[in-house]
Amino acid sequence: MGILEKFKLDGKVAFITGGSRGLGKAMAEAIAEAGGNVIVVSRNLGDCEKVAEEIEKKTGKKATGMKVDVRNQEEIEEAVKKSIEKFGKIDILITSAGINIRKPAEKFPSDEFSQIIDTNFYGTWYCCKIVGKHMIERRYGRIITVGSILSTVTLPERTAYSSSKGGVLQLTKTLAVEWAKYNITVNCICPGPFETAINEKIFKNPEIRKFFLERVPMGRFGKVEEVGALAVFLSSDACPYITGTAIYIDGGWTAL
């Protein structure tokens, strides 16, 4: 098989949480463009179905939308069951669902802190655990978790978010070690600043925008399609020896 053939995802099936917007949407679109079929998952069914319809029209690949709250194991189990019934398998899992709340540590309400941990960390764990069982049975899988540069570095007022994303990275490494024998790779994409909905509010502030850009050696924010390309690489059979690692897509932020 030639090298370019190894990047193709023809016949693969991807289950993508947070797939209706931002980086998740970009990864869903990229997977389909590379030949895969996709299940777009989020808490808003209408958004998922709209994105799935757009993907089908654009790529000709099968796509479906499902309403799932990743904090709820039962909802994930039901969605995974329906996905396997519809597509016969799940080859790729991308856990992109995530939220962020920025507040000083001493003023952070416990319920809001828990919301972030429940969504970002437990949501990732639940999806990996449930889809992972299916992949173990098939002895094949590609899992991509979504961390952040804040998995390893941090900023003020990010106690909950940084803690959740640090946990996602350690979860990724441990699952990679446990599941390597089943031909399952588990890797973590760690984005830097991207102009997505989760960051829209803060980037409207000129001072904050300047603060972030000054810390990116490339001098710009990331483009969502750049994350999509990385997701295709990690989902493909071009890199079966890469597992348990974090790939930073941050314009050089963490190199400083």
35-51 per-position pLDDT tens digit: 999 999 999 999 999 99
Tokens describing residue 102: 């920025």
- The per-residue pLDDT for 200 is 80
The answer, yes or no, to whether residue 8 has pLDDT greater than 90, is: yes
Q: pLDDT category, 202, cuts 50, 70, 90?
A: confident
Q: For the CA atoms of 122, 22, 189, 256, what is the dihedral angle to 10 degrees? A: -120
The answer, yes or no, to whether residue 198 has pLDDT greater than 80, is: no
What are the residue boundaries of the structural domains of the chain, listed by start? 3-250
The answer, yes or no, to whether residue 6 has pLDDT greater than 80, is: yes
111-156 per-position pLDDT tens digit: 999 999 999 999 999 999 999 999 999 999 999 999 999 999 999 9
Which residue in 133, 147, 19, 138 sits closest to 80, CA to CA?
Answer: 133
The answer, yes or no, to whether residue 78 has pLDDT greater than 80, is: yes
Nearest 5°: the CA angle 198, 201, 206 is 130
- Does CATH place domain 3-250 in 3.40.50.720? yes
Which residue in 136, 225, 226 sits closest to 186, CA to CA?
Answer: 136
- Kind and range of the H or E run holding 210: helix 206-214
The answer, yes or no, to whether residue 253 has pLDDT greater than 90, is: yes
- The per-residue pLDDT for 4 is 94
Alpha-carbon distance of 18 to 16, in angstroms, equals: 6
Q: pLDDT category, 199, cuts 50, 70, 90?
A: confident
Active-site option among 122, 126, 140, 161: 161
Main-chain phi, psi angles of 210, to 5 degrees: -65, -40
Which residue in 194, 202, 118, 205 sits closest to 157, CA to CA?
Answer: 202
Q: Is residue 161 annotated as a catalytic residue, yes or no? A: yes
The answer, yes or no, to whether residue 15 has pLDDT greater than 90, is: yes
The answer, yes or no, to whether residue 26 has pLDDT greater than 90, is: yes
**The one-letter amino acid at 112:** E
Alpha-carbon distance of 12 to 15, in angstroms, equals: 10
Cβ distance 243 to 180 under 8 Å?
A: yes
Q: Could you tell me which residues come within 8 angstroms of residue 192 by beta carbon, excluding any fewer than 6 positions away?
A: 149, 216, 222, 248, 249, 250, 251, 253, 254
- The per-residue pLDDT for 174 is 98
Q: What is the pTM of this model?
A: 0.97
